Amino acid sequence: MFGSNQYGVNVYAKVGLETGVLAASPNKLIIMLYEGAIAACRSADSYMQSKDIPNKGAMLSKAISIIESGLRLSLDKKAGGEIAVSLDALYAYMSKRLMTANIHNKPELIHEVIKLLTDLKGAWEAIDNVKMPAKDTAMAIPSQVAMAVNRNIANYAKA
């Protein structure tokens, strides 16, 4: 009676995601990109552990695409100044680590990127949870994200 066809469920999930994107604030969109990249990394790690090479590669490609085409391309280096430049370098670093993880099957590199993404996502969530007028939000974003970026650069840029 009920087949294993997940088409209807997938369409419903896609509509839910699209609705969430349309209703999201710019901060929430950034958080959603982080969530997508983290989920793809976790899936890649799971596929790597089970030696499912095609799916591992697909998930790492998805994570890199989110980082490069979503997070990195959305940076405005003129408006964001030093923070945007630092984020750009951190995103490039993450993409490189994921490519290396894919080539050499190194789950620890995926874990490193998940930690970086999670830390940055936390900074954006902290900003998103603060209820303040829009003009004040612009001031909060650089300080919260700058702390997360500086912390991550100090820990990982030495590698």
Q: What is the DSSP track for 53-118?
A: HHHHHHHHHHHHHIIIIIIITT--HHHHHHHHHHHHHHHHHHHHHHHHHHHHT-HHHHHHHHHHHH
Task: Tell me the pLDDT tens digit for each residue of 11-48.
Answer: 444 444 444 445 567 888 999 999 999 999 999 999 99
147-159 pLDDT per residue, tens: 666 666 655 555 5
Q: What is the pTM of this model?
A: 0.74
Q: What is the pLDDT of residue 134?
A: 52
**Domains and their CATH numbers in the chain:** 26-156 (1.20.120.340)
The pLDDT > 70 percentage for the chain reads: 66
Residue 56 CA to residue 40 CA, distance in Å, equals 9
